[in-house]
Amino acid sequence: MEQQILEFDDGIPGFPDARRFQLVELVDDGAFQLLQSVDDPDLAIVVAVPWLFFSDYAPELTDVDQDGLGIESEEDAVVFCAVTLESDRRTAHMNLLGPFVVNVKSRKGRQIVLTDQDYPIRALLPLGVS
Amino acid sequence: MLVLSRRAGESIVIGNDVVITILEVRGGQIRVGVDAPRNLAVHRAEIYEQVLAENRAAAASTDLQASILSTKATGLRLQDPTRSAE
């Protein structure tokens, strides 16, 4: 999906004016990508596909979010989650509460807040290597 | 801030297409129904604030985070069964 412009019409929490992003590979065939703002070069968030780390992750989109994104089946959706590195530079967390969901056909995206599904906002990433 | 008193069953209309209805008042808790257009996200404030703060943390010193994580990713690929099978 890199090189494609992803449109987040509502922005994302904390960055309401950031509407257009690109997904950029950090390294070839690596686990992490950069969700890079097209309009603000200083705004970028490291993301990864959650199932690489949490195979039983099963976010449920509400009808409102599905309709808003025009997602009709699972194949329409790409999901990635923000990754933050702790200041000790050894541990990292993934935001499973607020995944980014993109409709692969329309390139429309939203950061979904999963209400009542008990997913942590800071799930410890089992990196295992340093 | 505009302050209004409402009873259970009564509503507040915001603009032309947002209706907030007080469904139930019991003890210290109030159940609220929100009718809003589908393009309007409705969140519990404390959860929204958490996501906002986490986004800001994720967007801070991204270059450093990216370089360290991409280094770690080399070893990570070896550990990930879905990728090592390819």
Tell me whether residues B53 and A130 touch, CB distance under 8 A: no
Least confident range from A111-120, B18-27, B55-64, B73-82: namely B73-82
**SS3 (DSSP) at A110:** strand
User: Any idea of the CA torsion for A105, A109, A111, A112, to the nearest 10 degrees?
Assistant: -40
Whole-complex ipTM: 0.88
Residue A18 belongs to domain spanning: 6-124
Tokens representing B85 are 């099978």
Give the one of B43, B50, B62 whose C-beta lies nearest to A46's C-beta. B62
CATH number for the domain that contains residue A42: 2.30.290.10
Q: Residue A1 domain-assigned?
A: no
| Number of structural domains found in chain A | 1
Query: What is the predicted pLDDT for the residue at A89?
Result: 72
Contact B58 A83 (CB under 8 A): yes
Is residue A130 in a domain?
Answer: no
Closest chain A residue by Cα to residue B63: A44
Does the pTM surpass 0.95? The reply is no
Q: Establish if A129 belongs to a structural domain.
A: no
- pLDDT average, residue stretch B25-48: 91
Joined tokens for residue B61:
């010193």
Q: Output the pLDDT for position A27.
A: 76
